[in-house]
Amino acid sequence: MIDVSEYRIPAGTKVVLADHDADDKTGFEGGKKKGKKALSRLNKQIAELQRRLWAESRQGLLVVIQAIDTGGKDSTIRKVFTGVNPQGVRVASFGVPSEIELSHDYLWRVHKETPPDGYIKIFNRSHYEDVLVVRVKRLAPEETWSRRYQHIREFERMLADEGTTVLKLFLNISKDEQRQRLQDRLNEPDKHWKFNKADLADRELWDHYQRAFEDALSETSTDYAPWYVVPANRKWYRNLVVSSILIETMEKMDPQYPKPEEGLDDVVVT
Ligand code: AMP
Ligand code: MG
């Protein structure tokens, strides 16, 4: 397991992404090959912790994943949750809001998706889009999105108070890494389906997105719902960091198997 404390953003920190090396791999001695072996051990630990969470059924875990396009949200989910019981893990993906969603407040569609007791819920994008894409693409005026940091802090406080552990991951890739990943999607026919011309327009807005991410991370990393900036240029290292954060968090949640009924020792199945 990797010591992930240095990737955690303490409450009140002013985040400068240029200070976070997307290529970092200093937390693991060894390269890709050893890293992949280590991941399969962490997969097993996550599966065991999830089994306990499911059996206990008294608290939920919400994992928010945000990144720039090609940042690796989907593959992180695939690789980190390999081997868990699918019954207790759910993914919610948040795309462009529907007409009905837009007719409500922006947290409406999000709150409906938070995890019930016993579940891990993964948010592939989230309410943070409402201070990211909405800001960068000017879908709402500053007056509107700038108030949302406080709503979000309070919303997450409420979730935490009511028994949901909230964990937020920003997958940090560099601009050059994004170029390579977009180019791969063009070069490899079985990745064409992932290529979206609109992603090029978003790439033009790279600096705007970085500023919006910095503000979101600075404004909403709290003790009860911390952000982690995950170095994500190297996929194998990213997977180890995310897995380690999950294990650390779930160990703190400390889910317990329910006490068995009394007198089971004497029971014989005939
Ligand atoms: P994808 O994750 O590739 O399926 O794309 C989903 C798209 O939905 C992205 O371009 C997001 O920026 C966009 N999106 C997600 N949430 C919102 C939102 N609240 N307002 C506007 N666009 C959004
Ligand atoms: Mg996309």
Indicate whether residue 107 lines ligand 1 (CB < 6 A). no
User: Of all protein residues, whose CA lies closest to atom 15 belonging to ligand 1?
Assistant: 95
Q: Return per-residue pLDDT of the chain as tens, 270 residues.
A: 999 999 999 999 999 999 999 999 999 999 999 999 999 999 999 999 999 999 999 999 999 999 999 999 999 999 999 999 999 999 999 999 999 999 999 999 999 999 999 999 999 999 999 999 999 999 999 999 999 999 999 999 999 999 999 999 999 999 999 999 999 999 999 999 999 999 999 999 999 999 999 999 999 999 999 999 999 999 999 999 999 999 999 999 999 999 988 999 889 999
pTM (two decimals):
0.97
Distance 133 CA to ligand 1 centre (A): 7
Nearest-angstrom CA–CA distance, 46 and 58: 18
Return the ligand number nearest the Cα of 66.
Answer: 1
Rg (Cα) of the chain, in Å, rounded?
Answer: 20
- The 8-class DSSP code of residue 115 comes to P
CB 38 within 8 A of CB 240: yes
Indicate whether residue 38 lines ligand 1 (CB < 6 A). no
Q: Which atom of ligand 1 is nearest to the CA of 106?
A: 19
Determine the pLDDT at residue 23.
Answer: 98
Q: Which amino acid is at 38?
A: A
Determine the pLDDT at residue 157.
Answer: 98
Determine the pLDDT at residue 70.
Answer: 97
Instruction: Indicate the helix (H) or strand (E) that contains 182.
Output: helix 175-187
Residues belonging to the chain:
270
Determine the pLDDT at residue 189.
Answer: 95
Task: Give the position of tokens 């090609």.
Answer: 70
Q: Where are the domains of the chain?
A: 5-254
Instruction: Indicate the helix (H) or strand (E) that contains 174.
Output: none
Indicate whether residue 92 lines ligand 1 (CB < 6 A). no
3-state helix, strand, coil in the chain (%, to 5): 55, 10, 35
Indicate whether residue 245 lines ligand 1 (CB < 6 A). no
Determine the pLDDT at residue 15.
Answer: 98
Indicate whether residue 24 lines ligand 1 (CB < 6 A). no
Indicate whether residue 94 lines ligand 1 (CB < 6 A). yes
Determine the pLDDT at residue 143.
Answer: 98
CB 92 within 8 A of CB 26: no
Q: What are phi and psi of 124, to 5 degrees?
A: -90, 100
CB 50 within 8 A of CB 85: yes
Determine the pLDDT at residue 178.
Answer: 98
- Cα-based distances in Å from 67 to 31, 45, 88, 172: 24, 25, 24, 7
Would you state the CATH architecture of domain 5-254?
A: 3-Layer(aba) Sandwich (3.40)
